[in-house]
Amino acid sequence: IAGITQAPTSQILAAGRRMTLRCTQDMRHNAMYWYRQDLGLGLRLIHYSNTAGTTGKGEVPDGYSVSRANTDDFPLTLASAVPSQTSVYFCASSVTLQGEAFFGQGTRLTVV
């Protein structure tokens, strides 16, 4: 692994199903983020974590949960997917919350 990796790269999901998007970084960055990007709305922060063991809510947290059990991993869970959660999801990490962020390649999620 080099940098930050997301999985899956794309997914079609039935409404009501549970889904976890995975994110792993090998840069030992303290801060990690989940964004969703929708046409005309830009990148919107869902949740963030400034260090292992802590998480915080971003601009659009409803319907999503995260955990940060260790430095490297920051999974995003949709407990019961709805069509409005159709989006491109980006995970990112940075040394600190203020610092330069590095992004994963994104996960394209379609909820039908």
Partner 1 sequence: RKEVEQDPGPFNVPEGATVAFNCTYSNSASQSFFWYRQDCRKEPKLLMSVYSSGNEDGRFTAQLNRASQYISLLIRDSKLSDSATYLCVGGRDDKIIFGKGTRLHILP
Binding site for partner 1 (CB under 8 A): 33, 35, 40-43, 45, 48, 50, 56, 58, 90, 94, 97-106
Using CA atoms, how far residue 48 sits from 32, 33, 57, 108, in Å, is 6, 4, 6, 19
- Closest approach, Cβ 35 to partner 1, in A, equals 8
- Please name the helix (run of DSSP H) or strand (run of DSSP E) that holds residue 43, with its range, or none: strand 42-51
- Closest approach, Cβ 39 to partner 1, in A, equals 10
- Closest approach, Cβ 88 to partner 1, in A, equals 8
41 vs 82 by CB, closer to partner 1:
41
Using CA atoms, how far residue 65 sits from 34, 46, 53, in Å, is 10, 9, 14
77 vs 105 by CB, closer to partner 1:
105
12 vs 82 by CB, closer to partner 1:
12
6 vs 85 by CB, closer to partner 1:
6
Using CA atoms, how far residue 81 sits from 10, 69, 70, 77, in Å, is 15, 23, 26, 9
Question: What size, in residues, is the chain?
Answer: 112
